[in-house]
Amino acid sequence: MAEKDDLAPIEQMSFEAALSELEDIVSRLEQGEVDLEDSIALYERGTALKQHCEKKLKGAEARLEKIVLGADGVRGAEPMDL
């Protein structure tokens, strides 16, 4: 596993980057070739990545729900409140 200092801060990651890293973590854990301490660290980071991805998806969903429909179709979207 990469050193903790080498890992990107999760809150600054895009959805795609977080999902890709999460997929890598799952693959490594499924292979079972990681020692116990690294497995625990990977699991913890994977959990944080999963939560980050869920937050990003909920944010995107909220933005889509704010799309304003007019008689002539889509007129625009309201900015999402964070």
Q: What digits encode the pLDDT tens for the residues 26-71? A: 999 999 989 999 999 999 999 999 999 999 999 998 888 777 555 5
Is the sign of the CA dihedral 51, 54, 60, 61 positive or negative? Answer: negative
Token duo for residue 60: 């995107």
Domain count, the chain: 1
Q: What is the pLDDT of residue 77?
A: 61
CA 37 distance to own-chain centroid: 23
pTM, full prediction: 0.73
Q: What is the pLDDT of residue 71?
A: 55
The partner residues of 73 in beta bridges, in order of sequence, read: 70
CATH of the domain at 38: 1.10.287
Domain assignment present for residue 3? The answer is no
Look at residue 5 and tell me whether its pLDDT is greater than 60: no
2 located within any domain: no
Is residue 5, in this structure, part of any structural domain at all?
A: no
Q: Is 6 domain-assigned?
A: no
DSSP label at residue 68: E
The verdict on residue 64 lying in a domain is: yes
Q: Is 43 exposed, middle or buried (0-12, 13-18, 19+ CB in 10 A)?
A: middle
Burial readout 10-38 (b: 16 or more C-beta within 10 A, e: otherwise): eeebeeeebbebbeebeebeeeeebeeee
